[in-house]
Amino acid sequence: MTRESEISDREELDKHIMSQQESADTHTARQDQHRLHVGILGAGWFGRAAHLANLVRMDDVNVLAASSRSEESRQAACAMAGDGLSTFSDWRQVLEMDAIDAVVIALTNDQHHAACLAAFAAGKHVLCEKPLGLTVRECDEIIAAAESAGKIIQVGHEMRFQRLYEQTREMVCRDEIGDVRLAYCREYRGPMRPGWRSSASATGGMLVEKNCHHFDMFHWLLDARPLKVTAFGGRDVLLDRELLDNAQVLVEHEGGRRAVLEICLFAPFGGDTEIGLVGSRGRIDTLNQAQRLTHHRFDLPERTEVQVSDFAGAAEFIDAAGHINRGMFPELRHFVECCRGERSPLVGGAEGRLSVAVSLAAQFAIARGETILMDDVLSGAVTG
């Protein structure tokens, strides 16, 4: 082979390699265009374990940035998402990134309102952890900002995305227990995590922080608007905390349907979250951690018991009570599809607002020792 032909062959090979690289770069760029670019506002324990850990498992999502006031949390986020993750101490800096399409807000509850308004002003879609706001007015302002920006607001009520409760609702819709008259939730567990989750001003109160999930479930499963709330509760054992440590709440819904919540935060062992429904022809009882659903028919003596497992590929995490939290991966998948215009949020601003309002009504009822009308809470006539 002559030197001239050797140079010519090398040049052709270089051109081929460059052509392949350009093709690969173009393919990567096209892939990147179809990815949803996400930022995490609040990459603390929950932001990482619940949201970041699941988002990085999705091929069509690119987590570009995360914020936390803690250097340790920022380093942990980078370890989870890779060195390409931009991290900031101030969540506002995440919103300044034009490439970000959507944000997950996992800040302390008292920052949800400001972060949502800033995110919509920056043109981002928002998945806001529950509660949507600390007052009905905050919720109203967030909903108005989302509508004005033409962006998605989804609220982090992941229990609706757990297969156990999806199946429960499907059975109700198929009329398998008849006319549903009663709903209940009973949770005996250990205390909330120390820190801001034990602060009244940061959380909005124990029922707002802990049980807005369950009030949302009542509304979803009964498919009836809450009308009035009676409640009793106290701070009887955990005297080093600012929040209630137990409560019993009765919510009357449209059509005479009723729901009862029983919560205790000083019973750390032996409990599960029990949620159930009683209809005119049958009953459904569920255990959250056991992922078990029991169906009782009233015309037959036997019962049907089934195991209802969630998506196996999700990143599960353990909460302060030692419980495995589920539903996060399908909730986040739903958010991604909503951002792409493929569906509407299952839990939007209106649903988030209502769960906050019922939680506040229960706290007002305990403080005042009287029944609270939901119309008064929703209109702002009762505010504390």
pLDDT tens digits for range 264-289: 999 998 789 999 999 999 999 999 99
For 67-77, what is the mean pLDDT?
Answer: 97
Q: What is the SS3 assignment for 191?
A: coil
Higher confidence at residue 68 or residue 29?
Answer: 68
Q: pTM of the entire structure? A: 0.90
Residue % of the chain over a pLDDT of 70: 91
Query: What would the DSSP string read from start to end of 272-324?
Result: -EEEEEEESSEEEEEETTTTEEEEEETTSS-EEEEE----TTS--EE-TTSPE
The pLDDT assigned to 24 comes to 42
Q: What is the SS3 assignment for 41?
A: strand
pLDDT digits (tens, 9 = 90+) for 289-320: 999 999 999 999 889 999 999 887 788 777 76
pLDDT band at 19, cuts 50/70/90?
A: low
For 120-144, what is the mean pLDDT?
Answer: 98
The pLDDT assigned to 349 comes to 98
If we measure between CA atoms, which residue out of 196, 315, 371, 184 comes closest to residue 261? Answer: 184
pLDDT digits (tens, 9 = 90+) for 243-267: 999 999 999 999 999 999 999 999 9
Torsion over CA: 81, 87, 92, 93 (sign):
negative
Contacts of 3 (CB under 8 A, 6+ apart): none
The pLDDT assigned to 140 comes to 98
Find the range with the poorest average confidence among 21-25, 122-126, 223-227, 335-339.
Answer: 21-25
User: Distance of alpha carbon 243 from its chain centroid, rounded?
Assistant: 22
The pLDDT assigned to 31 comes to 52
For 81-86, what is the mean pLDDT?
Answer: 94
The pLDDT assigned to 3 comes to 42
For 112-123, what is the mean pLDDT?
Answer: 98
The pLDDT assigned to 6 comes to 43
pLDDT band at 17, cuts 50/70/90?
A: very low
Contacts of 329 (CB under 8 A, 6+ apart): 54, 57, 311, 313, 314, 315
Residue type, 219: H
Please, what are the domains in the chain?
Answer: 160-323+348-379 (3.30.360.10)
Q: What is the SS3 assignment for 231?
A: strand
- For the chain, give the mean pLDDT: 92
Q: What is the SS3 assignment for 31?
A: helix
In whole angstroms, give the CA distance from residue 148 to residue 161: 28
Omega cis (within 30) before 131:
yes
In whole angstroms, give the CA distance from residue 10 to residue 2: 12
pLDDT band at 21, cuts 50/70/90?
A: low
Residue % of the chain over a pLDDT of 90: 82
If we measure between CA atoms, which residue out of 111, 82, 87, 83 comes closest to residue 97? Answer: 87
What is the phi/psi pair of residue 13, to 5°? -65, -45
Structure tokens at 209: 């922080």
